[in-house]
Structure 1
Amino acid sequence: MAEDLSIIQGDKIAAYKSIIPQIKALVEGEPDLVANLANTVAALKEQFGWFWVGFYLVKGDELVLAPFQGPVACTRIKKGRGVCGSSWAEARTLIVPDVEAFPGHIACSSLSKSEIVVPVIRHGQVTGVLDVDSEHLNYFDETDQQFLEELIAGLDFAV
């Protein structure tokens, strides 16, 4: 596929329905994990303009920063710590309307106000997380959860 994306304006559902097939086409047949993670976050950032979007990968007893788009980020997160570590520990998506109200939130940037973290589950194990931050309170909802979970489950790369 050409590396040009078709970015649409309009409602969130239409945006997800447009960008998800494009991301799948970008990573299809490409065996390199870093390239696929990088293109996935770049496409999401371009479509939605989120403050921060990226992956953390499980390495031993920590999540380690992987490809992302946005300001510099925390490099390592322990299991159960912050939103990302909690999503990993619980193996479920977490939507946080106000990060300041989340017990143990790790503030990589004071500009981040809300967050959604989707675990990447392969062969019954969490192998990483997709982390998305917004500079607006209460930004993410069940629509984001549904489509981001669909995206992560449907990507054919091993994490």
Structure 2
Amino acid sequence: MAEDLIINKTASKTEQYESLIPQIQALLTGETDFVANMANVCAALKEQFGWFWVGFYLVKSDELVLGPFQGPVACTRIKKGKGVCGSSWAEVKTIIVPDVDQFPGHIACATASKSEIVLPLIKDGEVVGVLDVDSEYLNHFDDTDQIYLEQVIQILLNNKFN
């Protein structure tokens, strides 16, 4: 498939996701390399929404290790339960943080990050990684982001494990 995405930044957030998700599905179909697919998911999300940072951390032993991402350099390793990413892993749930400065134990990989959403990648009841998205704006993420980003994660995981 051609890797060009159809981007419409003037549509509502819901319309943007509903346009992008089938494109991500098509982009990943037939590709079995998980790293390549994570990289393309990051690129597609960053291109569509222009977020400050989009990336994956993967569970390796007792910590999260940086995976494919788009944005400035990032923290390489995060312990379980530490920061937003480690908390999402430990609690096995999506965490939306309207103001990262108010999150106890927030790990400031980049001081420009003001709000964040972290979603666990769950396979067979186990967290295998997290999707981390940061914005330079306060209160940038909401339930709409959670609903659609969970769909993106499911597409990614289904492509890897099916």
User: 1:115-154, CA deviations, whole angstroms, 9 ceiling, x for partnerless residues?
Assistant: 0001000111100000000000000000001100111123
Distance 2:8 2:94 in 1: 26
CA displacement, residues 102-126 of structure 1 (integer Å, 9 cap, x when unaligned): 0000000000000000100011110
- Cα separation, 1, equivalents of 2:155 and 2:48: 18
Aligned to 1:124: 125
Q: Which residue of 2 aligns with 1:33?
A: 34
Which residue number in structure 1 is paired with residue 8 of structure 2? 8
Percent identity, please. 70
- SS at structure 2 position matched to 1:157: helix
- Whether 1:138 aligns to 2:135 is no
Which consecutive residues of structure 1, in runs of 5 or more, have no partner in the other structure? none
TM-score by length of 2: 0.96
SS across alignment from 1:72: coil
**1:10-64 superposed Cα distances (whole Å, 9 cap, x missing partner):** 1100000011111111111111111100000000000000000000000000000
Task: Output the TM-score relative to the length of structure 1.
Answer: 0.97
Structure 2 letter corresponding to 1:116 = I
Matched residue, 1:63: 64
CA-based RMSD: 1.0
After superposing on structure 2, the runs of 4+ consecutive aligned residues of structure 1 that deviate more than 6 Å are none
Ranges in structure 2 where 5+ consecutive residues have no aligned partner: none
